[in-house]
Amino acid sequence: MVIDNRLRVPSATDVADLSFSIEMGTIGSHIRLCGELDGETAVLFTCVLDAQLAHGHVDVCLDMAGLTFFDLRGFAALCDARRRLADAGGRLRVINAGHLFHTVAVWWGVPDLCDDGTTAAHRHECT
Mean pLDDT of 51-76: 93
Query: How sure is the predictor about 115, in pLDDT bands with cuts at 50, 70 and 90?
Result: confident
Q: In this structure, is the dihedral angle defined by the CA atoms of residues 75, 112, 24 and 86, taken in order, positive or negative?
A: negative
Q: Which residues contact 44 (CB under 8 A, 6 or more apart)?
A: 10, 14, 15, 18, 20
Domain boundaries, given as residue ranges, for the chain:
27-125
User: Of 16-25, 28-37, 84-93, 111-120, which range is least confident?
Assistant: 111-120
Q: Is residue 36 scored above 70 in pLDDT?
A: yes
Name the pTM for this structure.
Answer: 0.76
Q: Is residue 92 scored above 60 in pLDDT?
A: yes
User: Of 34-43, 57-66, 110-119, which range is least confident?
Assistant: 110-119
User: Of 8-17, 20-29, 86-95, which range is least confident?
Assistant: 8-17
Q: Is residue 25 scored above 90 in pLDDT?
A: no
Supply the DSSP symbol for 32: E
Q: What is the CA radius of gyration of the chain?
A: 14
Homologous superfamily, domain 27-125: STAS domain (3.30.750.24)
Using CA atoms, how far residue 9 sits from 2, 13, 77, 126, in Å, is 20, 12, 16, 27
